[in-house]
Amino acid sequence: MALLTVENLRTTFRTDDGPVGAVDGVSLSVDAGKVLGIVGESGCGKSAMSLSIMGLLPKTATVEGSIRLGERELIGLSGSELRRLRGDDMAMIFQDPMTSLNPVMRIGEQLIEAVRLHQKVSKVEARQRAVAGLAAVGIPSPEDRMRSYPLELSGGMRQRVMIAMALLNRPRLLIADEPTTALDVTTQAQILELMRDLRSEVDAAIVLITHDLGVVAELCDEVAVMYAGRIVERATVDELFAHPQHPYTWGLLASLPGRNLASERLHQIPGTPPSLLRPPAGCRFAPRCPFAMDVCRADPAPALTSTGRGSAAVACHLTQDVRDREGARLSGEEQA
Ligand SMILES: Nc1ncnc2c1ncn2[C@@H]1O[C@H](COP(=O)(O)OP(=O)(O)O)[C@@H](O)[C@H]1O
Ligand SMILES: [Mg+2]
């Protein structure tokens, strides 16, 4: 059963220039024990979506639609109800660990406080859980680290502390928003490995947000490709790599390292994503799409439609024949 169900989510920021539709009608669901990847370029609304789910948006934002954790509707909950859910039923890992760590408080105090905020346990018990939490994310000498301040640790160790903090109360839903983007390549690989280990131990539904399809391939069960506030393609990871359907997905695949030059040139995505202040009238990807037809510039993209292969769905005016053919070109090279 789905642990997280998002239906027709619309998140709009009020700005001096007008409303910015950061999330524009997104629907998705994640089962317990599964990892859903959300992939898309910077500015496509990934963080706005995760903050909407966590109830952490600024006051300038409005949220419409439905976000359910199990049976419970989250939209419309009060600040205090959401605070109770956060860190308990659901937790978030950010790109910058200092978003959730307090620089002037020792790590141990922060972890103990996080446990005691949500669970009625003694200070001794909370401390034991904090140390165990640090050990579980591979922090050496966790007892000593309890006395450290966040800025005394390396970026990778800080990221581990934040992950430990997010997992302390065994959340049912974990959202990781670009957890490795700010790290160097080696540390990135270590944190990904940690997340992979945790995925089997923590029986949570995980939403992993990234701009990198390579990360998706390593960690996720399913993937939703986002472009300009909308999901343009959704599939299991195997299906996405075997039969990629949307021209934007082809572009993301072509930009993965180790691709063949011919496919790179054919599928690479020129230009930049549109402004969400005034998005294009037709398909939002049409201005950058090498395959765009007149209908793509005139009419909005169709709703996500099943490709007939499992749960896979795509929002594109191209015929399935064309999508299968072009997709096969890329996935064929993948296997070659
Ligand atoms: N607090 C905010 N106020 C106004 N616009 C915002 C705010 N946060 C994000 N946006 C806009 O919403 C869109 C989506 O941003 P974001 O969710 O951060 O994208 P991503 O996480 O995919 O990079 C962007 O156009 C961004 O400029
Ligand atoms: Mg973001």
pLDDT digit string, tens, across residues 260-287:
666 666 677 888 899 999 999 999 999 9
Domain ranges of the chain: 2-220, 237-335
Ligand with the closest atom to the CA of 227? 1
Q: How far is the CA of 329 from the centre of ligand 2 (A)?
A: 31
Does 13 sit in the ligand 1 pocket, CB within 6 Å? Answer: yes
Per-residue pLDDT of the chain (336 residues; tens, 9 = 90+): 799 999 999 999 999 999 999 999 999 999 999 999 999 999 999 999 999 999 999 999 999 999 999 999 999 999 999 999 998 899 999 999 998 899 999 999 999 999 999 999 999 999 999 999 999 999 999 999 999 999 999 999 999 999 999 999 989 999 999 998 888 888 888 888 888 888 888 888 999 999 889 899 989 999 999 999 999 999 999 999 999 999 999 999 988 877 666 666 667 788 889 999 999 999 999 999 999 999 999 999 999 999 999 999 999 999 999 999 999 988 765 444
Does 22 sit in the ligand 1 pocket, CB within 6 Å? Answer: yes
Beginning with the edge strand found earlier in the chain, give each strand of the sheet holding 90-93 in spatial order.
90-93, 173-177, 205-210, 35-39, 222-227, 230-236, 313-314, 305-306
Ligand with the closest atom to the CA of 46? 1
- Look at residue 3 and give its three-state secondary structure: strand
DSSP annotation string for 101-134: S-TTS-HHHHHHHHHHHHS---HHHHHHHHHHHH
Pick from 11, 13, 208 the residue to mutate for probing ligand 1's pocket: most ligand atoms within 8 Å of its CB: 13
Q: How much is the pTM?
A: 0.94
The DSSP bridge partners found for residue 159 are: none
Q: How far is the CA of 67 from the centre of ligand 1 (A)?
A: 19
Q: How far is the CA of 22 from the centre of ligand 1 (A)?
A: 6
Q: Please give the number of the atom of ligand 1 that sits closest to the Cα of 42.
A: 23
User: Which residues lie near ion ligand 2 (Cβ < 5 Å)?
Assistant: 46-47
Nearest CA to ligand 1 atom 24: 43
Does 20 sit in the ligand 1 pocket, CB within 6 Å? Answer: yes
Please write the tens of the pLDDT for every residue from 157-214: 999 999 999 999 989 999 999 998 888 888 888 888 888 888 888 888 999 999 889 8
Residues in the chain: 336
Nearest CA to ligand 1 atom 12: 22
- Look at residue 236 and give its three-state secondary structure: strand
2-220 belongs to which homologous superfamily?
A: P-loop containing nucleotide triphosphate hydrolases (3.40.50.300)
| Contact criterion met (CB below 8 Å) for 69 and 88 | no
pLDDT at position 34 is: 94
Ligand with the closest atom to the CA of 45? 1
The rounded distance, in Å, linking the Cα atoms of 302 and 133 is 46
Nearest CA to ligand 1 atom 4: 13
Does 274 sit in the ligand 1 pocket, CB within 6 Å? Answer: no
